[in-house]
Amino acid sequence: MKKLSPITAMLFAAAIAPAFAAGPPPAPQGLPAPKILVIDRAAILQLSKVGQDVGKQIQVYGDQAKSQLAGQQRALQAEGQAIQQQIAILAPDAKQKKIAAFEAKQSALQVSAQRKEQDIQAGFMAARQAIEKQLGPILQGLMQQRGANMILDKNAVVFATTGIFDITQPAIDQLNQKLPGFKVQLGGGAPAQATPAKK
């Protein structure tokens, strides 16, 4: 690559300097200036009444599944130890059948564990969708009240000036009134109803 002479380099620098000094081009006229609100969706799920209600139910379902599977696993381990003692004196055919039956039980337990986990996850996702469905109109209302035209998740904001307002707490307050609880259904298939507010 041919090196620029000092005079050419100076002229080139002088030509592009105004472009950098001018900054970004102005926004097209007629478009409203952005007024941005932010929310913390994770905080809404953790701190709202319905989010805490759903979290407790998921914890209970998880503990129940863990307890059931632990009991079945202990029984299977005991059976495996008994088979190990028996196979030494069994005929080859009988030994093969015992091992195959035991392996089938192990596979069935793994499938059962995966199914329980999937059912709990599906129940959580259905509850979350129900919360989001109720939260949508709340956020739209807050946006209109404050004359905003955009809502961002707090985690997506890299840098902000004082012109951005956090509406997480007002959203939580309104969600608490609108949806104080939610019955989680395992598998997420059956439609669950909102829990009425306690008076």
The model's pLDDT over 95-111, given as tens digits with 9 standing for 90+, comes to 888 888 888 988 999 99
Quick: pLDDT tens for 46-85.
999 999 999 999 999 999 999 999 989 898 888 888 888 8
State whether residue 193 is helix, strand or coil.
coil
131: left (phi over 0), alpha (psi -120 to 50) or beta: alpha
| Three-point CA angle 122, 181, 37, nearest 5° | 85
Query: Is 4 within the bounds of a domain?
Result: no
Whether 24 maps to a domain, the answer reads: no
Write out the residue range of the structural domain in which residue 42 sits. 33-195
Tell me whether residue 109 is in a domain.
yes
Output the CA torsion sign for 22, 23, 29, 33: negative
User: What is this structure's pTM?
Assistant: 0.67
Is there a domain that residue 170 lies in?
yes
How many domains does the chain divide into? 1
In a domain, 127, yes or no: yes
3-state SS of 45-86 is HHHCHHHHHHHHHHHHHHHHHHHHHHHHHHHHHHHHHHHHHH
Determine, yes or no, domain membership for 11. no
Inside any domain, residue 143:
yes
Examine residue 10 and state whether it is found in any structural domain, yes or no: no
